[in-house]
Amino acid sequence: MNKFCNSRSLIFLYFCILATLQSCFFGGNRGDQGELVGVPDRESFEQTIPYGMTFVPSGTFHMGQADEDITSSKINLNKQITIGGFFMDDTEITNNEYRQFINFMLDGSDTSADWTEPDIMASLYPDTTVWEKDFTYHMGDPMVRYYYMHPAFDDYPVVGVNWLAAKEFCEWRTQYLNDFRESVGQFPMPNFRLPSEAEWEYAARGGLDMAKYPWGGPYVRNGKGCSLANFKPGRGNYYDDGFQYTAPTASYFANGYGLYDMSGNVSEWCEDAFHPASYPIVWDLNPTYFDELEERKVIRGGSWKDISFYIETGTRSYEYRDTARSYIGFRCAMTHLGRSSGLEF
């Protein structure tokens, strides 16, 4: 019995040694055996939806006018293009969100090391005087005094911010997020940025190709006569939609992608330079038109002061990059990494 047990122990020991040798010489990472297997122990990355954003899935649509070109401008003729998936703020950046950026810059942290307080106030701080300068013989003083600073307007879209300041906000927001992710050992997220003109229009249509407005159909009121956006319903009439100036963000229904105020409230800066003939020359996959020498930048969506033509999804307009207005704000976008149908979000 003892001999049998000893023999069985020896056999078991033999197989243990054999398994160890096989693991050493033939097991483990096959990259040690001359095989192409990639870098071992590569950190995985799962892109999550940034706070305040919604996912816009990849797709194809007809960019350009969705109704009559009443100005005969011929600058937005239809072109079928494909857009890759991306994230987009579900509302315009609000006064209170922008205040977080300004306060952080004024704190003098490492992020704002290249910015002095006079530079911040001159270049990044919202120009509240636009409420007086944009309109002649208009009592804009109450808006100058209260629109940005008073808590009553915290959830209203920030205005008086030019294209350059909006770009700086995106850079700060990127570093602010990724500094935190790095501190907890996470991989950085892609940069926040302004949406391209094509991305903006694709997102505005909410999955409805050739939609005249984000809600689809050709009218600016629903069956009960209620306005579906904040704009100028008629001559001298700014209030039939419920607000004489801007409205709190998300005051109207979202479109099919969960985005609010893609028509009306405030026009929105896009990344692209403006050119009346850009549509024919840009590519039909994720088109962009960048020109550092062109000071005109695209704005989209129309605003609280505009008639219905300017809040159509296909209407193009522009403003100079260093000019701030009481009717122009912005929202951020972020590229989605990898292939996605959007169903996981």
pLDDT in the model for residue 28:
54
Nearest to 111 by CA among 173, 191, 26: 173
pLDDT at residue 4 in the model: 45
* Contact call for residues 344 and 48 (beta carbons, < 8 A): no
Low-confidence ranges of the chain (pLDDT < 70): 1-32, 109-113, 340-345
At residue 88, the pLDDT reads: 98
**What are the start-end ranges of the H helices in the chain?**
2-25, 95-106, 117-123, 130-133, 141-146, 163-183, 197-204, 278-281
Cα distances (Å, whole numbers) of residue 45 to 180, 190, 281, 332: 16, 12, 36, 22
Tell me how far apart the alpha carbons of residues 96 and 181 are, in angstroms, rounded to a whole number. 23
Residue whose pair of structure tokens reads 């969705």 in the numeric block: 66
* pLDDT (0 to 100) of residue 237: 94
